[in-house]
Structure 1
Amino acid sequence: MTTVELAEPTRAVAVLPVAPPRSERALSTWVGHSLIQCKRLLLVWTRDPATTIQTLIYPALTLLMFRVVLGDSITHATGKPAIYGFVPLTALVAAMSGSVVSALGFKGEKYTGLLGRFWTMPIHRAAGLTGRLLAEAIRVLITTLFILVVGICLGFRFWNGPLAAVAMICIPVLFGVGFAVLVTALATFSEGVMLVNVIGIINTLLMFFNSGFVPVFAYPPWLQRTVENQPMSTAIDAMKGLAWDGPVAVPLMKTLAWTIGFIVVFTYPAVRGYRRAAETGA
């Protein structure tokens, strides 16, 4: 008897279509890579005790010092609660001071070659800078909320409803992003010591010549217009009006003008300097 072997039936193998890789220049790639860079920076900052102190502890102690040392005397001199100037002032100072820490971190990434390694990888070219600015916005938001909690414990209140409160919280974030663009531009073209000195001078001048400590009329007449229209004063007046009393529209428009001006003027130097640092490590 002849044995007949039956061949196994052929099985159809399903071939799944492979999606083509997304372009490095695609908008979705930019958004996704920016979020990854933002998450990376936030994780680095949360693991650094110095950044935590600069973000939370230092602003809270500054606000407490203002209230204990200057609060009653300024309230008696002006007839207005000083806490409504101290809270906005502290939030804005914290936003500016934190930008220096971020800029020094950027310098460290440049010197260690991390920026260069990112530049050689299939990562959207703008993701590093936009991710850093997004992380800055989140940091300023967290700092502002923490300062508000401390301020509420010291007598700060919202008198104009929840929408005004949300708008007030957004002002330091907006201001911080604009200032971060300026600091990033300076960081790409200056050394660490020079950067700290320059930003320190800017912070000191803005911090002591604004409407957060005393009203504008308390300054010498020749200085009042400068104090009234400098970026911190406009932001403080808008936040004060949203939380308690005072004009809102005019100082808010001036704050938006300052922020947009920072972004328009310093975006190109920041992008060019960031690319130069990533490409050459210099």
Structure 2
Amino acid sequence: MTESKWYWSILDGWTMSRRSFKHLFRNPESLFLSFGLPVILMLLFVYIFGGAIQTGTDYVNYVVPGVIIVCVGYASSMTAMSVTQDMVGGLFERFRSMPILPSSLMVGHVIGSFARNMIGTALVLLAAILIGFRPSAGLQEWLGVIGILSLFLFSISWLSVVFGLLAKSVESASAFTFLIMFLPYVSSAFVPTDTMPAWLHAFAENQPMTPLIETLRGLLIGTEIGNNHWVTIVWFGGLLIISFVVATMIFKRRKSE
């Protein structure tokens, strides 16, 4: 019985993931936000701001991790809005009358979000290489990049699901994700934190995006990582667990309403 339940859970989750993929490619706005925006931001920062910012290395090498993280923040709003749309649009109610696990709705959104962001990340890296990005990472470092990014993407995806479940409208779901989009700008993503005012420097150094970006930058181009990788794992591992538990609790509560 347990094995059968797991089998149908996986099958239903995959069905909802396929639905997310189809919606992405049928929606020009979502397609641009996921795949076009990352490349445009990369070109914008490198060619417009890069000449005015001194980072001790070619700016394209410095900025790649920050662009990836910013684009994940923008994409998180799309995930939250999609979850809210499904909840307020009556899809969940229809699932109740069908032989499908309603919780697969959340799983489908998470997997769809993860896949979109991974494709966007690959496009950022490809565009960066075409304009001069030269990573020094070996196989071990690339595996580390994939692992850290996967942890970050899953944690943000589940947090977006939480926001989507809490929101009462699609518009408010988008507003909930503002903090995710804002934090990378107040970090070491685009400028060294020691160039910031003292009060802002303290915040930038101790918020979760800075150790994440410093870890990715160190893995990609060999800058000093220190203990940033452990701090990143604690921050986003904890966020993943908390977001998953909270999303499950909210979903069950709404299920009983």
Matches within 5 A, 1:232-271: 232-248=209-225, 250-271=227-248
Query: 2: CA distance between counterparts of 1:224 and 1:30?
Result: 46
Query: 2: CA distance between counterparts of 1:248 and 1:125?
Result: 42
Q: Give the deviation of 1:71 after TM superposition.
A: 1.0
**Structure 1 match to 2:115:** 138
Moved more, 95-104 or 161-170: 161-170
1:48-67: CA deviation from partner (whole Å, max 9, x where unpaired): 11110000111111111000
Q: Give the deviation of 1:135 after TM superposition.
A: 1.6
Quick one: which amino acid aligns to residue 120 of structure 1? S
**Structure 1 match to 2:141:** 164
Matches within 5 A, 1:16-35: 26-35=5-14
Identity %: 23
TM-score by length of 2: 0.90
1:235-272: CA deviation from partner (whole Å, max 9, x where unpaired): 11111101112233622211111112212222233123
**Structure 1 match to 2:16:** 37
Alignment partner of 1:102 out of 70, 79, 94: 79
Query: 2: CA distance between counterparts of 1:195 and 1:26?
Result: 32
1:163-197: CA deviation from partner (whole Å, max 9, x where unpaired): 31242244333212111222211221123323322
Q: Does 1:212 align with 2:189?
A: yes
Moved more, 43-52 or 211-220: 211-220
Structure 1 residues 137 and 172: alpha-carbon distance in aligned structure 2, compared to 1, 3 A threshold: same
Unaligned runs of 5+ in 1: 1-21
Contact 1:115 1:277 in 2 (8 A): no
Q: Number of matched residues?
A: 256
Moved more, 195-204 or 231-240: 195-204
Cα-Cα RMSD: 2.1
Unaligned runs of 5+ in 2: none
Query: 1: CA distance between counterparts of 2:151 and 2:226?
Result: 16
Q: Does 1:177 align with 2:154?
A: yes
TM-score by length of 1: 0.83
**Structure 2 counterpart SS, 1:78:** coil
Query: 2: CA distance between counterparts of 1:238 and 1:220?
Result: 23
Q: Give the deviation of 1:121 after TM superposition.
A: 2.1
Q: Does 1:92 align with 2:45?
A: no
Contact 1:110 1:277 in 2 (8 A): no
Alignment partner of 2:100 out of 105, 110, 123: 123
Q: Give the deviation of 1:119 after TM superposition.
A: 3.0
In terms of fraction of residues, the more helix-rich structure is: 2
Contact 2:83 2:106 in 1 (8 A): no
Query: 2: CA distance between counterparts of 1:51 and 1:279?
Result: 32
Q: Give the deviation of 1:154 after TM superposition.
A: 1.6
Structure 1 residues 23 and 165: alpha-carbon distance in aligned structure 2, compared to 1, 3 A threshold: closer
Query: 1: CA distance between counterparts of 2:216 and 2:180?
Result: 21
**Structure 2 match to 1:154:** 131
**Structure 2 match to 1:73:** 52
Query: 2: CA distance between counterparts of 1:257 and 1:137?
Result: 20
Alignment partner of 2:41 out of 59, 62, 67: 62
Query: 2: CA distance between counterparts of 1:88 and 1:119?
Result: 42
Alignment partner of 2:26 out of 47, 51, 56: 47
Larger radius of gyration: 1
Quick one: which amino acid aligns to residue 197 of structure 1? A
Structure 1 residues 249 and 32: alpha-carbon distance in aligned structure 2, compared to 1, 3 A threshold: farther
